[in-house]
């Protein structure tokens, strides 16, 4: 069979969009062309045929409760057919929403979809694999029909380099789709049913590779094109004036995730985390075309947040969130706020890009309702965020990264996990979720039975060794360790002792280095040797040693340090450095204490740090907060009573 010549009555717009599918046909070899159906001229009727076939198969699936296995996951076939129906209906709607759009242009792939929906396959596993492929193809046909209209309506001579690259990538995708349909039909005609499921999986790989490439190019396109701005009004994006956009962004979430990201990555050592990037399970998760969750879990202080920060897992649009258990930032432990932040990042990738629909429209409706009531627009609930994220994912894939899940509100984090599950399971596009946490019981119970991938952070021996060597060398160069007078023999013993005792904990190493550099106690090589012989085994024992330094300090220094800890435990918002210093500059007798940031940090023995990026003091690590909360002097009653007295 050969492709028939298109009617000359087609509009220029129709010919423009048709040409990519025509070129895709031309790119096929003669054997693949035999598997493409060119016969039916009534193109719109093909979509109705597909919908009828989907409905018939759905009824059969419902009666038989058909499921099939893919990548150790059980997939309900009826749910996949529901998605196909959604994509067909959306494709039909494009004709009403896009300028002069003719939905008949993609008849060729839809004819292939129809063929597989109308055939009879008795093996449920094989049929499930066929439906899975059909859903992928239906998704891509519809998505790129819209994106063609967004970015490729201008004539070839006036296009940007990015637009030309985008067209080339779409052509490669369309060719891969037609090859998939043709070769699948070929193997079906040979009646090689037993092997068809495996063959289909292999045939999908070129499609997935092309789709990933297109996702990258999509983000690089010039959104400033005047023509694109016209189309945006009727499709996926809504431009807003500067002030309105700022209000919309702030309404979604005011959490500075970018600053948190920079803070976490500030001290990351180059080449660290390679063990994770080379881990077969991580590689499998990253390359897989299946929607999945990767769980990175380990003991406190093992560097999970640093690994998360450096993993570069996404070629698709990415949203991330760093949870924190901090009374001054309760929003960082609130599932509603977490999902609002994820929604914000997925709905507006950069400052130059408009906010995507339906988010902008939702804000407009809520603002109109609020104006009528004389109040501020109501914040989105977790459920509303979930539905809006699913709407965004109808046309884009995404990677969602959540660090320190264990620091999310324990009474509500199951809601966050349920929302993430819903997004993964119901998304029309490929969604991958990457979370890190400690092994808290409720999280373990939730994730341990999941078919998704698990990685333990105790595989970081090489990173620990590099970290130890770096820290010891830096301490010698900075002359904080025995004023820099360290023999090679002593240096070697320090390094080997710390590597042996670390047990995967970077935080433990940092605390031992701090202890060994205490010039008040460590004045001679023999002092260091003696300390190495009695290194604490746990973080708690390490904090006991450091806290002893606070208790042995002078009365004023100890009181300032204790008050600083209590303020950080109780504060209901982040305090700017001048505010924090002022709160600590009056003693219990009402006398003024001259104090600056460096003095305060010294008094707190580095259990408190100054975050210059966020302009606030904070605990050096969550384990510091947990250690203090275990001491009687820092119970909630004691801490709040002390702070209340200071405020009177």
The domain ranges of the chain are: 12-232, 237-457, 461-535, 548-647
Q: How confident is the model at residue 209 (pLDDT cuts 50, 70, 90)?
A: low
User: What does the DSSP 8-state code read for residue 300?
Assistant: T
pLDDT confidence band for 639 (50 / 70 / 90): confident
- At 215, the pLDDT band (50, 70, 90 cuts) reads low
Q: What is the mean pLDDT of residues 283-290?
A: 74
Q: Please state the rounded mean pLDDT for residues 187-214.
A: 63
Q: How far is Cα 149 from Cα 243, in angstroms, rounded to an integer?
A: 29
What SS3 state is found at 320?
strand
pLDDT at 190 (0 to 100) = 64
Q: Quick one: average pLDDT of 137-160?
A: 72
* 27 vs 645, more confident: 27
| Banded model confidence at residue 313, pLDDT cuts 50, 70, 90 | low
Strand partners of residue 73: 70
Mean pLDDT of the chain: 79
Determine contact, residues 430/459, Cβ cutoff 8 Å.
no
Among 73-82, 146-155, 306-315, 458-467, the least confident range: 306-315
Q: What is the pTM for the complete model shown?
A: 0.60
- 403, 320 contact by CB (below 8 A): yes
pLDDT of residue 226: 37
Q: What is the pLDDT of residue 384?
A: 96
> What's the pLDDT band for 211 if we cut at 50, 70, 90?
low
Q: How confident is the model at residue 232 (pLDDT cuts 50, 70, 90)?
A: very low
566 pLDDT higher than 90: yes
pLDDT > 90 in the chain, percent: 26
C-alpha distance from residue 442 to each of 9, 245, 404, 419, 448 (Å): 64, 39, 14, 16, 10
pLDDT at 200: 60
Which carries the bigger pLDDT value, residue 398 or residue 211?
398
CATH class, domain 237-457, is: alpha beta
Q: How confident is the model at residue 246 (pLDDT cuts 50, 70, 90)?
A: confident
Tell which wins on pLDDT, 34 or 594.
594
Nearest to 337 by CA among 382, 383, 277: 382
Task: Tell me the average pLDDT across 197-208.
Answer: 64
- pLDDT higher than threshold 90 for residue 482: yes
Q: How many CB atoms lie within 10 A of CB 33?
A: 16
Asked, colleague to colleague, whether 237-457 and 548-647 share their fold, the answer is: no
Distance CA 76, CA 564 (A): 55
**Phi/psi of residue 355, nearest 5 degrees:** -80, 135
pLDDT band at 646 (very low <50, low <70, confident <90, very high): confident
Confidence at residue 449, expressed as pLDDT on a 0 to 100 scale: 64
CATH architecture of 548-647: Orthogonal Bundle (1.10)
pLDDT in tens, 177-196: 888 888 878 777 666 555 55
CA angle in degrees (0–180, nearest 5) for 568-321-507: 55
Is the peptide bond preceding residue 8 cis, with omega within 30 degrees of 0? no
Tokens matching residue 291: 């929607």
> Which one is predicted more confidently, 160 or 76?
76
Q: What is the pLDDT of residues 431-445, one digit of tens each?
A: 889 998 888 888 888
Higher pLDDT, 503 or 366: 366
- pLDDT reported for residue 565: 94
DSSP 533: T
Residue 44: predicted pLDDT: 65
Mean pLDDT score, 458-463: 75
* Region class of 563: left (phi > 0), else alpha (psi between -120 and 50), else beta: alpha
Where is average pLDDT lowest: 46-55, 209-218, 592-601? Answer: 209-218
Query: pLDDT value at position 337?
Result: 96
Q: Quickly count: other Cβ atoms within 10 Å of residue 647's Cβ.
A: 7
Q: What is the pLDDT of residue 139?
A: 83
Residue 4 confidence class, pLDDT cut points 50, 70, 90: very low
For 73, the 3-state DSSP assignment is: strand
CA distances from 318 to 31, 65, 313, 425 (A): 40, 35, 9, 18
The per-residue pLDDT for range 546-562, each reduced to its tens digit, is 999 899 999 999 999 99
Asked if residues 253 and 341 have their Cβ atoms less than 8 Å apart, the reply is yes
Q: What are 121's two structure tokens?
A: 């396959």
- pLDDT confidence band for 321 (50 / 70 / 90): very high
Count how many Cα atoms sit within 13 Å of the Cα of residue 598 in the half-sphere of its side chain: 0
Among 489, 501, 512, 511, CA closest to 465: 501
314 vs 394 pLDDT, higher one = 394
């Amino acid at each position: 069979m050969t492709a028939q010549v298109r009617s000359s009555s087609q509009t220029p717009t129709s010919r423009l969009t048709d040409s990519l599918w025509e070129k895709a046909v031309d790119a096929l070899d003669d054997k693949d062309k035999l598997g493409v159906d060119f016969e039916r001229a009534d193109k719109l009727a093909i979509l109705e045929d597909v919908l009828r076939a989907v409905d018939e198969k759905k009824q059969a699936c419902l009666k038989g409760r058909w499921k099939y296995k893919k990548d150790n996951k059980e997939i309900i076939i009826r749910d996949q057919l529901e998605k196909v129906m959604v994509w067909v209906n959306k494709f039909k709607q494009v004709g009403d929403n896009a300028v002069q759009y003719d939905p008949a242009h993609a008849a060729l792939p839809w004819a292939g979809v129809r063929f597989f929906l109308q055939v009879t396959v008795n093996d449920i596993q094989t049929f499930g694999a066929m439906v899975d492929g059909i859903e992928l193809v239906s998704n891509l046909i519809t998505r790129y029909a819209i994106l063609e209209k967004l970015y490729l309506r201008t004539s070839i001579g006036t296009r940007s380099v990015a637009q030309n690259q985008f067209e080339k990538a779409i052509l490669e995708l369309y060719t891969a789709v037609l090859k998939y349909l043709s070769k699948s039909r070929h193997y079906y005609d040979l009646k090689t049913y037993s092997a068809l499921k495996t063959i289909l999986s292999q045939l999908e790989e070129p499609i997935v590779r092309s789709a990933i490439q297109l996702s990258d190019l999509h983000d690089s396109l010039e959104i400033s094109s005047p023509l694109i701005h016209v189309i945006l009004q009727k499709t996926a994006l809504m431009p807003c004036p500067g002030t309105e956009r700022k209000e919309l962004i702030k309404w979604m979430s005011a959490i500075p995730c970018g600053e948190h990201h920079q803070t976490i990555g500030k001290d990351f050592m180059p080449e660290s985390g390679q063990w994770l990037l080379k881990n077969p399970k991580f590689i499998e998760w990253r390359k897989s075309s299946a929607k999945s969750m990767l769980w990175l879990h380990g003991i406190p202080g093992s560097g999970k947040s640093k690994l998360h920060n450096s993993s570069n897992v996404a070629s698709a649009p990415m949203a991330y969130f760093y949870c924190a258990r901090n009374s001054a930032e309760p929003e960082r432990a609130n599932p509603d706020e977490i999902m609002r932040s994820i929604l914000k990042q997925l709905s507006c990738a950069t400052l130059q890009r408009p906010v995507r629909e339906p988010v902008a429209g939702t804000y407009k409706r809520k603002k109109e309702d609020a104006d009528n009531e004389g109040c501020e627009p109501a914040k989105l609930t977790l459920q509303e965020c979930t539905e809006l994220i699913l709407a965004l994912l109808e046309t884009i894939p995404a990677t969602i990264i959540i660090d320190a899940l264990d620091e999310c509100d324990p009474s509500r984090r199951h809601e966050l996990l349920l929302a993430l599950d819903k997004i993964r399971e119901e998304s029309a596009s490929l969604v991958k979720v990457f979370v890190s946490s400690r092994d808290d019981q409720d999280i373990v119970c939730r994730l341990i039975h999941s078919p998704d991938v698990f990685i333990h952070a105790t595989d970081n021996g090489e990173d620990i060794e590099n970290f130890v060597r770096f820290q010891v060398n830096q301490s010698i160069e900075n002359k904080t360790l025995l004023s820099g007078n360290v023999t090679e023999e002593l240096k070697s013993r320090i390094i080997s002792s710390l590597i042996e005792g670390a047990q995967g904990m970077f935080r433990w190493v940092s605390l031992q280095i701090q202890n060994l550099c205490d010039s008040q106690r460590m004045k001679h090589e023999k002092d260091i040797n003696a300390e190495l012989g009695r290194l604490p085994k746990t973080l708690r024992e390490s904090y006991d040693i450091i806290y002893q330094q606070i208790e042995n300090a002078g009365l004023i220094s100890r009181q300032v340090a204790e008050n600083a800890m209590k303020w950080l435990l109780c504060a209901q918002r982040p305090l700017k450095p001048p505010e924090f210093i002022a709160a600590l500059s009056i003693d219990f007798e009402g006398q003024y204490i001259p104090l600056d940031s460096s003095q305060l940090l010294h008094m707190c023995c580095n259990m408190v740090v100054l975050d210059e990026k966020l302009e606030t003091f904070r605990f050096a690590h969550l384990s510091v907060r947990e250690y203090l909360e275990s001491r009687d002097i820092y119970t909630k009653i004691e801490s709040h009573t002390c702070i209340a007295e200071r405020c009177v």
